[in-house]
Structure 1
Amino acid sequence: MGLHQSELHSLLLLPLHLVVWLYSLLSFLPWYYFTGAGEKRTRATRVKARSTSGRTEGPYRCVDRFQSLATEDFPGKDTLDKLFQQAVQRFGDSDCLGTREVLSEENEPQPSGKVFKKLILGEYCWLSYQQVDSVVSYMGSGLAALGQQSKSMVAIFCETRAEWMISAQACFRYNFPLVTFYATLGEEAVAFGLNETGVTHLITSTELLETKLKGVLSQIPKLKHIISVDQRRVSTEGYPPGLAIHSMASVQELGSQPDNCDPQPSDLAVVMYTSGSTGRPKGVMVIHSNLTAGMTGQCERIPGLGPKDTYIAYLPLAHVLEMTAEISCMAYGCPIGYSSPQTLSDQSTKIKRGSRGDSSVLKPTLMAAVPVRRLLGGRVRLMLSGGAPLSSATQRFMNICFCCPVGQGYGLTETCGAGTITEVADNSTGRVGAPVICCEVRLRDWLEGGYTNQDKPHPRGEILIGGPNITMGYYRNESNCQDYFVDEKGQRWFCTGDIGEIHPDGCLQIVDRKKDLVKLQAGEYVSLGKVEAALKNCSLIDNICAYANSEQNYVISVVVPNQKMLTELARQRGVKGSWEEVCTHPAMEEVVLKEIKEVATSIKLQRFEIPVKVHLSPEPWTPETGLVTDAFKLKRKELKNHYLQHIERMYGRP
């Protein structure tokens, strides 16, 4: 009796299966041995933090620094100026800060008829550590020659660039506390901060001076000197009398007799104004020892940081993550190449077609990022994401696309950006890692929201962070300082308002936020943050803001849809018109709402948590629109006001 056809087929394939099996066996063992895969797996699954009290609420500390919290990375280098001076001694002639040369500008017509300005850029031009050191000394001395006093504040309102960091290091060296503002902050908010701190000297760019500051300078009577970081001369016409405008070069020329002021660890280093998701910006007071501790915790999670690395800087330097990342890189001899979101990649908006973006030229190995930004890089070996937790799907996608670990960090301006960071070996997703070695984490029961340290399977509660990295409160804003407290041992703590849960290995996951809780008309509590985090897994959604009114019994949402996917679905359904017309078409609202319900049901959101109506917004949410912070957190008040008409429509009001 002959063989069945399927059996014959199997016999024919048997030699091939044997070859594949043998190849896999022979290649797996060397790979497993030489790559240290077994050791990495052991490290990934190990316990990374545990409770010092033995109780589920903590505090939890990193097991690698369990007995005491770290305060400085280099013994005796307990202020920011000492950190940089040590780096100058170690890395003197090495590259420190790099900027691409602008060769020319061109106007590029678009098919739509619009004209975009494009840059033709050259190679990176570098300043060595010794050169930066000289410029820093002359800049600080020049500010002193302009009347700046030790322990008096200097403000900086400027885009991310080498001159920002040079100015900051000058202020650290001369003990001028630095007041920082996001370059995207509105002029009224900047004026508020300048008046609150009473600064007399401001460092800015010509563009920001002319487009944002000029109209409000008359409202800032104490401001006497403006220093422009640009080369070109600024016309003084139209500026208030008594206000002197200088170039950065002219200020450095005044600094012919550099002299240090030796700040102490307890001296104020920075007043960092947060863009804030609600209300007026708050100035967080940060002393030198806060920053040295915070950076110690961050650097411990970046293995092998040193001169072989190259860091690409493009996030706002007024963001604590970017500022501490750059200062840390300088301390370890890692050169920093400056970029911007408009020039980062070959496809960026200001890069001429066919030209190379900054990442292609610089080939960085390290970068920091926040979600919703497009990320590109060549030799990137590690990315650190901060600002808002990445969804599991997004983190896995980024890991695969960039072929490198994408770590998540959790911290706030109030904690110098330090809190928790995932280890490089940790291949889990959706978590933000274990406490770094400079701080510890506790969970405080929040009974109103239904979170306690007795919850199963993991203890949950409000996240409290304590340690030497906890800042000193808000400048002239005692009413907002109730989130800080000092325990019986004298340690400072900050109450984050975020809700987290601790996994058995000591890693933290963010699950909610207290301010996002709304009570519906029928008495159910809805966490808007929880709903948003869940629905970001929808393939049709780029961004979402859930909204609930306590006088109503259901949740609604405003969605920024994925343009490519929604446009294709519109084509399939015969919906024609511009992108704005597609978004406002009732049929497309129904399509998105259907997917929202399907995803929400699959991940077991409660019925009352699922948005029942949706408005599709054709405009993306960026810091420039004022609808999200520079860390891309939602500004709920601004979003509500911006979409008020649509909110009222979804709640059935005329």
Structure 2
Amino acid sequence: MSVELTPEAVSAKWAAHLKKQMITVPNSKKPGYTEVYRNALYPTIEVNEDTFGLIQQTFSQYANEKCLGHRPFDENKGDLANHFVWRTYKEVDLERTYIGSAISSWVENGLLDPKQGEGTTKPEKSGIAIAYWGPNRPEASVINMANLSFSRISISLYDNYDAAVSCFILQHSHVRVLFTSSHYVPIVLRAADKLPELKAIVLLDIPGPKSLPLFEIQRSELIREWAKSHDVNVFTWNEAIAVGQANPHPFIPPNRDTIESFCYTSGTTGLPKAVIIRHSNIAFGMAGLQHILPEKGLVSISYLPLAHILERGWESFILMTGGAVGYYSGKVDRLPEDLQILKPSAMPAVPRVLNRVAAQIETQLAAGGIRAALLSTAINTKIKNYDETGTITHAFWDRLVFRKVRAKLGGNLRVMVTGSAPCRKDVLRLLRIALVVDIREGYGQTENMAYATYMAPNDPHIGCVGPINPGLELRLRDCPELGYTSEDKPYPRGEVQIRGGSVFTGYYEDEKKTKETFDGDWLATGDVGQIDQYGRLQIVDRVKNLIKLAQGEYIAIERVEGIFASLPICQQVWLYGDSFQPHLVAVAVPDPPQFAPFASKVLGRHISDSDEAALESAANDPKVVEAVLQEFIRLGKSQKLGTLEQMRALKLRMDPFSPDNNMMTPTLKIKRQEAAKILRKDLDALYEQPPYDLSKVK
């Protein structure tokens, strides 16, 4: 980075601007739009480095420091070891060189050439496409660095993609080499006739036993024979490393306009779109982040999907600033264990993760006894201090109580960012004082490299996503059909539009969708925002996800759903509205550890959180359903939801929404249209019930 700024210096600069975080461009007001807003501290920025220069500098400066880590498998223990093993930057430097050289060698030998008359060479204008499909692991980062260093296009597939979507992406992006595990190879080879450009598969399986019983052969050998029949070569990771080591090739540095990756959107309403991310987008984001997050040498955990833009951007930031990334064990229920072993100093989070942490604290409060009373006193004292002074620390209570809360996430966090969906203000405030971390909300999309807005350091006024990031511009477009205009009082409101160096140039091979996404040279985000009194953006609605009820009222379904999602006894909630009906209904999935004691109390008998039959029975018991519905309504009232925003009927189901049952995308967003089709009988039954009387709940 060209500008060296310390965290203390950046915080001090922002402290003087917390009451005015954005400025307007003179004479920029146009009919139907607000004025154009820029960051108050950094209206413009200089981008002096390119991505290749940044990564080369990092490898040189931090050669002997920790870079990528994972928990190895302990043969004696029969489980993962209770420690991380690390590759240094120097070791990762060698691996990315070997992997990149191996692919160059295969290109020279003609091994990656498609058959005559098959395929297309469109991506070769910027370099061939290389894909990774698998769980979070260090090799994925090595592959991305190799692709960057040799001007190749990176493609990441979500670990839970189904066969149809994954094969569409491999075909659409013209992938030549796929790095994956043997688990996914059958899916690929069954579709080999539709993937004429796929010429090599590199297996990332853990090696099996060296000696096998008579007449048995390695799984990799079976895969090789099957792949060979489709003219696809198969290598192991170590074999690819050996090829590159024996055939070194020079780097092919990208220029600013070189395509870095196709980042596929989640596809809530159809096949995913390929967002074209160029090296200039990444370099711009890295240059701007130093002005709002100047930390270096952070240790972070990788647990969000590798194909998600938040995880991709965050890992790039950590590794380009000399930090280390430890990869979690691969199982969400073991994430707390991974955190306590890794002890990260930074991590990204999404609201559903934060809601679960807050729910655990609330459960402890509800348990009663001396510990609950002590925790309640500590929380109330710190919240009072926070509301009065904005401070998140307390010399006595942090040491006595919150040290144990912090320990659940490793005890070493000092940087935490949340995004992808709004986080409730009370949840964010609780976690700031309980974790003693300045958790900051950000806002962004795949289409702007997740670099759009970010809260200022130590801003005590939560409930926003901060000002526009350094170097970008923001404006709001009137949405009169929804009741939002630039003339609204006290704050201007409208669709958020963004312009600047992090904004993408279009969707690959989809000119129609590209035109629909832009308003001139402005990215139209589809989110409705308002500019508050401090010059910060607040997301208040979604242009496309509004539900119109029978009486003509619009409901921001996702915003309301986000409020209900924080109820501890349920792990998922889906709110549904029909334009022919006057009220909302909901389908929720209970969280067994929280739901079991709740249902036990309602029914007057013990229900174990591991007794699936008993949980299923409780979820269908009218008394339990009504009790849970009352909790949702009570939560809604506490958050000042309007009468029409409250759910008036509820269905509980123990089977979660998931990509496996086609009701969620790989990014864990509900596919509303698909869910409505699958749950049509339940929805019809809910609307046959009289709407619940809200006056029953105080």
**TM-score interval, normalised by the smaller of the two chains:** 0.7 to 0.9
Correspondence for 1:48: 21
Correspondence for 2:328: 339
Higher helix share goes to which structure?
Answer: 2
State the alpha-carbon separation in 1 of the partners of residues 319 and 486 from structure 2. 41
SS of 1:557's partner is strand
CA contact (8 A) 1:99 1:337 kept: yes
Correspondence for 1:64: 41
Aligned-pair distance for 1:513?
Answer: 0.7
Correspondence for 2:102: 142
Correspondence for 2:200: 225
State the alpha-carbon separation in 2 of the partners of residues 566 and 611 from structure 1. 19
2:319 to 314, 327, 330: 330
1:308-363 per-position Cα deviation (integer Å, ceiling 9, x unaligned): x21222222211111121122222111222224527xxx618xxxxxx93322322
Q: How does 1:263-412 map to 2 (within 5 A)?
A: 263-303=254-294, 305-307=295-297, 309-340=298-329, 342=331, 348=334, 357-373=337-353, 376-412=409-445
Correspondence for 2:68: 97
Structure 1 residues 191 and 575 mapped into 2: Cα distance closer, same or farther (>3 Å)?
A: farther
Q: Does 1:610 align with 2:641?
A: no
Q: Does 1:427 align with 2:460?
A: yes
1:169 to 141, 145, 160: 145
2:538 to 502, 506, 509: 509
CA contact (8 A) 2:14 2:457 kept: no
State the alpha-carbon separation in 1 of the partners of residues 237 and 566 from structure 2. 47
SS of 2:238's partner is helix
1:31-80 per-position Cα deviation (integer Å, ceiling 9, x unaligned): xxxx99x96995584321122247582322111112x2x363xx2x22x2
CA contact (8 A) 2:35 2:475 kept: yes
SS of 1:207's partner is coil
CA contact (8 A) 2:305 2:667 kept: no
State the alpha-carbon separation in 2 of the partners of residues 480 and 425 from structure 1. 39
State the alpha-carbon separation in 2 of the partners of residues 523 and 105 from structure 1. 65
CA contact (8 A) 2:455 2:465 kept: yes
Structure 1 residues 71 and 474 mapped into 2: Cα distance closer, same or farther (>3 Å)?
A: farther
Q: Does 1:189 align with 2:168?
A: no
Structure 1 residues 253 and 512 mapped into 2: Cα distance closer, same or farther (>3 Å)?
A: same
Correspondence for 2:553: 524
Letter in 1 for 2:348: A
Structure 1 residues 452 and 537 mapped into 2: Cα distance closer, same or farther (>3 Å)?
A: farther
Structure 1 residues 428 and 579 mapped into 2: Cα distance closer, same or farther (>3 Å)?
A: farther
SS of 2:561's partner is helix
Aligned-pair distance for 1:283?
Answer: 0.9
Letter in 2 for 1:384: V
1:535-591 per-position Cα deviation (integer Å, ceiling 9, x unaligned): 345555443221112222222111234545543342233266611111111122222
SS of 2:552's partner is coil
C-alpha RMSD of matched pairs (Å): 2.7
TM-score normalised by L of structure 2: 0.78
Structure 1 residues 104 and 218 mapped into 2: Cα distance closer, same or farther (>3 Å)?
A: farther
Structure 2 portions without partners, runs of 5+:
1-7, 113-123, 208-217, 358-408, 606-612, 690-698
Structure 1 residues 314 and 607 mapped into 2: Cα distance closer, same or farther (>3 Å)?
A: closer
1:258-316 per-position Cα deviation (integer Å, ceiling 9, x unaligned): 2122211001110011222221111111110011112333343223x213x21222222
Structure 1 residues 409 and 622 mapped into 2: Cα distance closer, same or farther (>3 Å)?
A: farther
Correspondence for 1:202: 178
Structure 1 residues 620 and 104 mapped into 2: Cα distance closer, same or farther (>3 Å)?
A: farther
Aligned-pair distance for 1:163?
Answer: 0.5
Correspondence for 2:472: 439
Correspondence for 2:483: 450
Correspondence for 1:20: none
SS of 2:72's partner is strand
State the alpha-carbon separation in 2 of the partners of residues 136 and 573 from structure 1. 58
State the alpha-carbon separation in 2 of the partners of residues 412 and 465 from structure 1. 11
1:213-263 per-position Cα deviation (integer Å, ceiling 9, x unaligned): 454445433322111223436232544531211112212222222212221
Correspondence for 2:250: 259
Aligned-pair distance for 1:364?
Answer: 1.2
State the alpha-carbon separation in 2 of the partners of residues 97 and 642 from structure 1. 42
Structure 1 residues 377 and 299 mapped into 2: Cα distance closer, same or farther (>3 Å)?
A: farther
SS of 1:560's partner is strand
Structure 1 window deviating more from structure 2 (165-174 vs 243-252): it is 243-252
Structure 1 residues 625 and 348 mapped into 2: Cα distance closer, same or farther (>3 Å)?
A: farther
State the alpha-carbon separation in 1 of the partners of residues 185 and 489 from structure 2. 54
State the alpha-carbon separation in 1 of the partners of residues 658 and 410 from structure 2. 22
1:625-646 per-position Cα deviation (integer Å, ceiling 9, x unaligned): 5433444433212322332221
Identity of aligned residues (%): 29
Q: Does 1:477 align with 2:510?
A: yes
SS of 2:34's partner is coil
SS of 1:296's partner is helix
SS of 1:315's partner is coil
Aligned-pair distance for 1:464?
Answer: 0.9
Aligned-pair distance for 1:416?
Answer: 0.3
SS of 1:408's partner is strand
Structure 1 window deviating more from structure 2 (229-238 vs 435-444): it is 229-238
State the alpha-carbon separation in 1 of the partners of residues 19 and 489 from structure 2. 21
Structure 1 residues 262 and 564 mapped into 2: Cα distance closer, same or farther (>3 Å)?
A: closer
State the alpha-carbon separation in 1 of the partners of residues 594 and 83 from structure 2. 37
SS of 2:253's partner is coil
Structure 1 portions without partners, runs of 5+:
1-34, 107-117, 350-355
TM-score normalised by L of structure 1: 0.83
1:200-219 per-position Cα deviation (integer Å, ceiling 9, x unaligned): 21111233335x54544454
Structure 1 window deviating more from structure 2 (575-584 vs 401-410): it is 575-584
Correspondence for 1:111: none
| Count, aligned residues | 585
CA contact (8 A) 2:602 2:627 kept: no
SS of 1:65's partner is coil
CA contact (8 A) 2:583 2:648 kept: yes
1:409-430 per-position Cα deviation (integer Å, ceiling 9, x unaligned): 1100000011111122112222
State the alpha-carbon separation in 1 of the partners of residues 168 and 292 from structure 2. 37
State the alpha-carbon separation in 2 of the partners of residues 120 and 600 from structure 1. 42
1:474-529 per-position Cα deviation (integer Å, ceiling 9, x unaligned): 11122211344375xxxx42111111111121211111111211222332222212
State the alpha-carbon separation in 2 of the partners of residues 192 and 469 from structure 1. 27
Letter in 2 for 1:198: H
CA contact (8 A) 1:51 1:61 kept: yes
